[in-house]
Amino acid sequence: MSEGAALEKKRYECLEDLEIGSAMSKKLRELGLHTVENLAMTTPKELEQAGINKKSAKNLIQKARLCMPLPFIRGDELVKMRQNILRLTTGSNMLDKLLDGGIESQSITEFYGEYGSGKSQICHQLCVNVQLPLEQGGLDGAALYIDTENTFRTERIFQMAKNVGLDPEEAIKNIIFAEAFTSDHQMFLLENADKVIKENKVRLIIVDSLTSHFRSEYIGREMLAERQQKLNKHMHRLIKLARGFNAVAVVTNQVMSKPDVFFGDAIHPVGGHIVAHTSHTRVFLRKSARGPVRIARLVSSPRLPEGEGVFKITERGIENVNENDSEN
């Protein structure tokens, strides 16, 4: 029997099941690798940087990979998975239409734009909307909010909940909140979110913002590769959770301007190719000359055309723009 077949017989749930010694398990946990799956998705280089020699690093990862079920899925199973996709309303008809009925579960949707463009307001509104029944565009579930910029406000939740007819005191209980203090801490929170997602029937996972810590901690060209590797891992973890729990995953992202660019877009989302390719749906938000009105542009989607729509931010939350708004 091959080593792979022998290993498959047993269920490998925690690192200790791999029989790599308690000291090594402890070391891996200190690196944020808490499960066999985490280890299987790591690169030898990351382990080497933590003082594990090259050969052991390779062996450990190989062992973990052999224990994981093969990730191949038959096409018809994929169809079944997609049939289960749910859509969450944003509160704006135009934005929902742009997204073909709302934000999809099982993948990552990214909102990017400059400061004040409405990224966090959308996140707040989604935390409320997710609690609505399916027939009202909700997912009848709870929200997990990872806040990296300290901009989550319970007062806003109360206002928005009241507006959609939810009891604010109940609505706030269905939002599980965590503040991430560093990029490592942010990663740690997602690595360990399974239990809290399951126990609380979480159907919406928000990371607001995805990139701020990474951007401020990894400075300069020489740190770029490491930053991108970590971001990649973080986003794949998020995809895994979104698929595993049929949840909507929403991340926000800052923009940077490139003053040396004369043609095309001078404003770019942070995070380069990794974030661009891992976010399935990207929406660019910008302010308009009409006060509370914001413009949303669907920049990329695996199956929808580009397009634009408008919505407004009011005390009640994310709302439709009406005719009177154009006169402001």
Site mask, ligand ADP, residues 150-189, x = CB under 6 A?
A: -x--------------------------------------
Cα dihedral sign for 267, 273, 275, 280? positive
Task: Between 119 and 282, name the residue whose CB sits nearer to ligand ADP.
Answer: 119
Contact 73, 255 (CB under 8 A): no
Place of tokens 């380069």: 272
Contact 105, 247 (CB under 8 A): yes
* Interface of this chain with ligand ADP, residues 133 to 152, rule: CB under 6 A: 151
Least Cα distance to 99 among 129, 141, 62, 55 occurs for 129
Task: Between 77 and 315, name the residue whose CB sits nearer to ligand ADP.
Answer: 315
* Interface of this chain with ligand ADP, residues 21 to 40, rule: CB under 6 A: none
The residue type found at 312 is K
113 binds, among ligand ADP, Mg ion, none (CB under 5 to 8 A by kind): ligand ADP
Q: Where are the beta strands (DSSP E) in 43-137?
A: 87-88, 103-104, 108-113
Quote the DSSP letter at residue 284: E
Q: Which two tokens stand for residue 146?
A: 């990872």
**Shortest Cβ 119–ligand ADP spacing (Å):** 3
**Shortest Cβ 147–Mg ion spacing (Å):** 9
- Residue in 63, 87, 119, 233 binding ligand ADP, rule: CB under 6 A: 119
- Residue in 117, 174, 186, 253 binding ligand ADP, rule: CB under 6 A: 117
Is residue 121 close enough to count as binding Mg ion by CB under 5 A? no
Q: How many CB atoms within 10 Å of residue 289? A: 6
Residue 200 and residue 202: Cα distance in Å, rounded? Answer: 5
Stretch that binds ligand ADP, among 45-53, 97-105, 118-126, 235-243 (CB under 6 A): 118-126
DSSP string, 290-310: STTEEEEEEEE-SSS--EEEE
The residue type found at 248 is V
CA atoms within 13 A on the CB side of 36: 21
* Angle subtended at Cα 94 by Cα 152 and Cα 293, rounded to the nearest 5 degrees: 60
Is residue 120 close enough to count as binding Mg ion by CB under 5 A? yes
- Residue in 43, 81, 97, 116 binding ligand ADP, rule: CB under 6 A: 116
Residues with Cβ within 8 Å of 145's Cβ and at least 6 positions away in sequence, in order, are: 123, 127, 152, 175, 176, 177, 178, 206, 208
Is residue 281 close enough to count as binding ligand ADP by CB under 6 A? no
- Residue in 44, 91, 113, 309 binding ligand ADP, rule: CB under 6 A: 113
Stretch that binds Mg ion, among 140-148, 149-157, 216-224, 280-288 (CB under 5 A): 149-157
In angstroms, what is the C-alpha Rg of the chain? 21
Site mask, ligand ADP, residues 291-320, x = CB under 6 A?
A: -x--------------------xxx-----
- Residue in 44, 91, 102, 118 binding ligand ADP, rule: CB under 6 A: 118
Task: Between 80 and 153, name the residue whose CB sits nearer to ligand ADP.
Answer: 153
Residues that bind Mg ion (CB under 5 A): 119-120, 151
Residues that bind ligand ADP (CB under 6 A): 113, 115-121, 151, 292, 313-315
